Amino acid sequence: MDMTGLLYSQIGYDIKDPMRALIRSTNPSYVPEGALFTLVNTSTEQVVIQKPVSYWGELWKSSWWELDFSELDDAGTYTLSVQAEGKELCKSDPFNVATHLLWDETLTIVALDQMEERARLARNQNGWKDCGSTIREVNSHATCLIGLCDLMNTGFQWLTHSEIERLAQQLLIGCNYLATCQDKAEKLGLGKGSIVHEIPDDMVVIPGDVAQCVVAFARTSRLIIERYPSQSDEYLERAVAAYDYLLEQAHPLGQSGFSPLNHGASADFQVPDEWMTRDLLMMIWGGMELWISGKTHYKERVIHMARQVLQRQVPRDRPEGEFYGHFYTFDHCDFTEKANIHHHIGHDTGGTFPNYIVGLIEMTRRWYDDPEAPIWRKAVEDFAYGYFLPACSKNPFYLLPEGYFKGQGLLVFCGPWHGMNTSIAFTATLATKLETFTGDRAFRKISVGNLQWIAGLNAGITQHSFKGCEFWHEEIEPSQVIPYSQIYGIGTRYVGCWSDIRGSIPNGFSVNPQFQLTVEPTQEADGPWLFTDEDWIPHSAGWVSALTILREHKMYADKLR
């Protein structure tokens, strides 16, 4: 039996952003040549746009067609329908279009209401209930703080005074839990500045956790200095201690917790005594945040790490497939960085930031007159145009693939066991930063595509999708593909999650069952086959970050305030 569905945002669309819907069908003849789509204003019942449906292509064992109505410039409520050969093939429910609609519909719920409830439910009211269970991981708290810092840094101008204070309180809650974990690590003799992964069940140090905490502590310190000066001073001291630990005491974790499957490495790969590129990139970012905070003596160490990263960049004359500009994971290996490698406690823990070169971007902006600045700029441009833009353009949603797998090519869903929506949302942030960096609006399709994937313009839920869920289930016919918002409690239709906290975002689409690494990364296996329903606060962090950075950019690029 064929499966077919009209896929569109379940929350709505922002004016001046790319506005699209997609048709997915396992029947390649479902939409005949000459089919038209019609956009109707439900208030006036007038046809606003009528255009041909565009065939996108074949992917993930389905055919895809695109309905692009980006020229729409009027706020309102609309429906889409598709006509062919004198009959209506499919029709949407009503959806809304407005300026800053995604922000207005989701921001305070995801960033404030949800996080306040998670603070209330946290063990001993310290930190947040960070997922579907009782765990409070350091990496999830640090990632969440990083997203909330983006909101406090530039999004404050669109918040009320009371909302800003609520946000500041959440920054304190997150940082105070990290401080507890840092104090515990020192008492255990694990090294001054180190940070245990989780209290009470995983009191081990993951260097990747510590690197993320440097960014979280340093940024929070600057953003609360006028409201909470004593806490600001404390957090900066903690960031310095954590960074010094990384530079002087920490060592890579080696083979323990390394997944060859996630990395696309051979099963017998021996992990070298080196930092992964993603670790170096996070340390670069942390060093930049400390430099901005007045700790300028770290500059040479940051530049040294940048040199290490650039030595691992895939050169244009020796591409991986058709791609260049991305990065090998180690100095001497034949596989490149993947967007999401997070799984068990160990080497790969917390690896959810997707090719996150924001530290390099910041270096080119802050140290523009450094003799090496042209080299950093070229590295960013090569990544943007050699890998990021063309790789995201290989699927109809502009999702950043998990990565390039040797012998298979780009794979979008193979690899992770959870946390996919973290990487997807932070991809949207990175795309906006690259649009700002290059001045090229082509990156807008990526930022909006990855955001709208979470807002409902995704591959759609099928009857088979629920085989990946622990708790959520709905009755769907075998022939149906139905779009759902991935933000619990928001949207015409929205997915379920473990915690039932409004504003939560679950793991999302995957090939692996939740918390299992069982599917080999191959083209045949790749696709949005399963939906995984556990909620996790890094997903929300990415959403808040992406919305904030995009709104700030549109204020200047699109003259939208």
Residue 191 lies in a domain: yes
Q: Which of 334, 306, 312 is nearest to 325 (CA)?
A: 312
Do 184 and 61 share a structural domain? no
Count Cα atoms within 13 angstroms, Cβ side, for 425.
30
Condensed to tens digits (0 to 9), the pLDDT of residues 461-494 reads 999 999 999 999 999 999 999 999 999 999 999 9
Do 150 and 82 share a structural domain? no
Q: Are 324 and 315 in contact (CB under 8 A)?
A: yes
418: left (phi over 0), alpha (psi -120 to 50) or beta: beta
pLDDT of residue 547: 99
Condensed to tens digits (0 to 9), the pLDDT of residues 295-312 reads 999 999 999 999 999 999
Task: Show the tokens assigned to 22.
Answer: 């997609």
For 292, counting Cβ atoms within 10 Å of its Cβ (0-12 exposed, 13-18 middle, 19+ buried), the class is middle
Query: Given a cut of 90, is residue 1 above it in pLDDT?
Result: no
Do 266 and 145 share a structural domain? yes
Q: Are 210 and 242 in contact (CB under 8 A)?
A: yes
Do 21 and 138 share a structural domain? no
Query: Given a cut of 90, is residue 417 above it in pLDDT?
Result: no
Q: Which of 70, 98, 126 is the last residue of a domain?
A: 98
Task: Tell me the mean pLDDT in the region 381-386.
Answer: 99
Task: Tell me the mean pLDDT in the region 382-398.
Answer: 99
Condensed to tens digits (0 to 9), the pLDDT of residues 222-265 reads 999 999 999 999 999 999 999 999 999 999 999 999 999 999 99
Do 80 and 55 share a structural domain? yes
How much is the pTM? Answer: 0.98
Residue 495 lies in a domain: no
Condensed to tens digits (0 to 9), the pLDDT of residues 94-122 reads 999 999 999 999 999 999 999 999 999 99
- The CA-CA-CA angle for residues 401, 132, 109, to 5°, reads 80
Domain that holds residue 43: 17-98
Residue 346 lies in a domain: yes
DSSP secondary-structure letter at 441? Answer: G
Q: Which of 44, 70, 98 is the last residue of a domain?
A: 98
Q: Are 481 and 460 in contact (CB under 8 A)?
A: yes
- Give the number of domains in the chain: 2
Q: Which of 360, 355, 343, 420 is nearest to 387 (CA)?
A: 355
pLDDT of residue 351: 92
| CATH assignment at residue 52 | 2.60.40.10
pLDDT of residue 540: 98
- What are the b/e assignments for 30-39, b being 16+ CB within 10 Å? bbeeebebbb
Do 125 and 274 share a structural domain? yes
Task: Show the tokens assigned to 157.
Answer: 């101008």
Task: Tell me the mean pLDDT in the region 497-517.
Answer: 96
Residue 297 lies in a domain: yes
Q: Are 25 and 60 in contact (CB under 8 A)?
A: no
Residue 10 lies in a domain: no
- Rounded distance, CA 286 to CA 288, Å? 5
- Rounded distance, CA 133 to CA 280, Å? 31
- Rounded distance, CA 517 to CA 133, Å? 20
pLDDT of residue 193: 99
Q: For strand 36-41 and strand 76-84, is the pairing parallel, antiparallel, or unpaired?
A: antiparallel
Residue 543 lies in a domain: no
Q: Which of 110, 108, 44 is nearest to 78 (CA)?
A: 44
Residue 393 lies in a domain: yes
Q: Which of 406, 441, 476 is the last residue of a domain?
A: 441
Question: Residue 223 forms beta bridges with which residues?
Answer: none
Do 230 and 337 share a structural domain? yes
Q: Which of 391, 393, 256 is nearest to 402 (CA)?
A: 391
Q: Are 534 and 516 in contact (CB under 8 A)?
A: no
- The CA R_g of the chain, rounded to the nearest whole Å, is 23
- Rounded distance, CA 454 to CA 447, Å? 12
Do 324 and 261 share a structural domain? yes
Do 316 and 354 share a structural domain? yes
Do 69 and 198 share a structural domain? no
- Rounded distance, CA 40 to CA 37, Å? 10
Helix (H, G, I), strand (E, B) or coil at 313: strand
Do 325 and 250 share a structural domain? yes
Residue 370 lies in a domain: yes
pLDDT of residue 229: 98
Sign of CA dihedral 314, 315, 320, 323: positive
Q: What is the 3-class SS of 102-147, one letter each residue? A: HHHHHHHHHHHHHHHHHHHHCHHHCCCCCECCCCCEHHHHHHHHHH
- Rounded distance, CA 132 to CA 437, Å? 37
| CATH assignment at residue 187 | 1.50.10.10
pLDDT of residue 418: 87
- Rounded distance, CA 210 to CA 194, Å? 7
Do 331 and 190 share a structural domain? yes
